[in-house]
Amino acid sequence: MEIMLLTNPASEVWGKNAILSFNDDKAIIHLKNNPKNDCTLVQRAGRKLRAQGIKEAKLVGEEWNLAFCWAFYQGFYTAKQDYALEFPSLDDASQHELLARVQCGALVKGLINEPAESLTPLKLAERAAEFIVAQAQKYAEKSTVDFRIISGEALVAQGYYGIWTVGKGSVNPPAMLQLDFNPTQDPNAPVLACLVGKGITFDSGGYSIKSSDGMATMRTDMGGAALLTGALGLAIARGLTQRVKLYLCCAENLISANAFKLGDIVTYKNGVTAEILNTDAEGRLVLADGLIEADCQQPEFIVDCATLTGAAKVAVGNDYHSVLSMDEALVSELFQAARAENEPFWRLPFEEFHRAQISSSFADIANTGTVPVGAGASTATAFLSYFVKNYQTGWLHIDCSATYRKSANDLWAAGATGIGVQTLANLLRLKSEK
């Protein structure tokens, strides 16, 4: 089906304020001359057409630009990927950007939607590294990427006790990806950013077991790792010239005779001890290893991304990613980047007093809130703050509430959304140009 854009309203025969009409074998999307709202409208139209069973579409006419093409693609995409979409010819810069968005978005959505049976912790680390190496080969130089994957008991030998603790109950060993994108090729070059992603490829909840309904989508609990991989890939495609390091903390949280238990205490590299009060609060345990390593690199800033808490999702639904940080300037830059990319982020509170709300009688901190009525997203952030020395500045925590939709709505099909890839790539650009 050919899809056209027109600025005139649809005939009322198609319904009041209809965004779609049809003429022979063509569908017409009726714009309203408001650039931001028009992109949302185009995405809705793409979703409507796809929901009606249209599997092949060709975008035709003079009105299509980068923003509209991308919006339509977002609405037309489905997890099964049983469709074909032909884009119009755009100028070279727009064509380059569109292709990069599609490639990086497809990587993120594909990883998040993939079953845990095939996407094990080690496979996640390997696939992420392969993608960044391929991006560097295409847009930079092969020698700009170095990486290593630490897996299984080697994690214990090197002091990554959080990842090991969470993953030791599974037959699929936990793994940590440490990747260095260094376009300067100077081994002493400063690090602009460290990106730390939660890569829990399946989360049963451990002995604090989830319900079947709560567990049904837990193959997506590696969404933070996927998001950061895609964001770095897009930043490279956009010409990133400064050094960035990526740390993915990957594990399966399963139940077995070897699995960690309530009351266990993890001692981290930086000396902090953490009591396990809930084995379903495992994401923060693996992220702690990544944050310690990231902090040692002395980057200009750190971003961690994780599908970390149900509390954040209760606060903002599936519609926004939640942002927690004490660094006002860095938060402002993130929101500037998000507005430019038309992606939804929302700030949640993180204050000093939250750090006192995870006290333990047996360790320095507990892995869940210990006050009668706690703010779950904020206390999770408080836990992570114990692994960033100067947590008040240069650190952003993103609780990825908008990573995945269990059911479709008028903008998105069921499954992964890819929201946040462009914003984080843009943040890297903004920081690198300062």
Active-site amino acid positions = 210, 284
For residue 90, what are its two tokens?
């755009």
Alpha carbon distance 85, 76 (integer Å) = 8
Angle ∠(55,59,60) on CA atoms, nearest 5: 140
* Selection from 233, 127, 140 nearest residue 184 by Cα: 140
Asked if 260 contacts 209 with a C-beta cutoff of 8 angstroms, the reply is no
Give Cα 58 to chain centroid, integer Å. Answer: 30
Angle ∠(297,242,91) on CA atoms, nearest 5: 150
For residue 230, what are its two tokens?
């895609």
Alpha carbon distance 231, 423 (integer Å) = 8
Provide the 10 A C-beta neighbour count for residue 117.
10
Provide the 10 A C-beta neighbour count for residue 104.
25
Provide the 10 A C-beta neighbour count for residue 133.
17
Give Cα 140 to chain centroid, integer Å. Answer: 23
- 3-class SS shares of the chain: helix, strand, coil, % to 5: 40, 20, 40
Determine the angle formed by the axes of helices 92-113 and 421-432, rounding to 10 degrees. 130
Q: What torsion, rounded to 10 degrees, do the Cα atoms 22, 25, 31, 36 define?
A: 130
